[in-house]
């Protein structure tokens, strides 16, 4: 009798352990989440393009558990003087929110702020003359603000 009870408890314990381990593995983000996050938050145009493509297909990345929420340019205008900065600000929010969730924000903040500045400069590259100069100055101001207060 004691032996059966012991075997029954062992089988039950094994079933519980297996269920918990399976649930944990199923709920876990893919192992390459840090690499994907890093690839989407670099200063390059290709990194920006990869992120915008992923943002357009968020459902395809749902297993990663990324935070896609944004308030765009926070308390600053999203389109200052008509310059479309909103998407660049959304990518900046993406980096901030996801690195904070990962506990590695401080180590990545400077790069995230630099990536915002590079994104804004790419927006400004579409203009010429005095309009480009104004856009570049506005981009610099946004960069300085996030660098100091972000």
CA distance 101 to 142: 24
- Of the residues 36, 37, 91, 92, which is catalytic? 92
SS3 state at 34 = helix
CA distance 106 to 114: 14
CA distance 91 to 69: 10
CA distance 27 to 20: 11
92 carries an active-site annotation = yes
Buried b (16+ CB within 10 A) or exposed e, 92-115: bbbbbbbbeeeeeeeebbeebbeb
Instruction: Give catalytic residues, as residue numbers.
Output: 92
């Amino acid at each position: 009798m004691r032996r059966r009870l012991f075997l029954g408890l062992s089988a039950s314990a094994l079933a519980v352990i297996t269920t918990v381990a399976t649930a944990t593995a199923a709920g876990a983000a893919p192992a390459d989440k840090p690499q994907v996050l890093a690839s989407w938050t670099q200063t390059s145009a290709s990194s920006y393009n990869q992120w915008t493509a992923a943002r357009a297909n968020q459902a395809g990345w749902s297993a990663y558990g990324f935070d896609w929420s944004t308030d765009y340019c926070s308390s600053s205008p999203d389109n200052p003087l008509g310059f479309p900065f909103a998407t660049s600000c959304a990518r900046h929010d993406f980096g901030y929110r996801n690195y904070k969730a990962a506990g590695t924000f401080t180590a990545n903040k400077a790069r995230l702020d630099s990536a915002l500045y590079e994104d804004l400069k790419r927006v400004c590259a579409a203009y010429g003359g005095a309009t480009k100069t104004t856009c570049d100055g506005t981009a610099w101001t946004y960069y300085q603000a996030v660098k100091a207060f972000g």
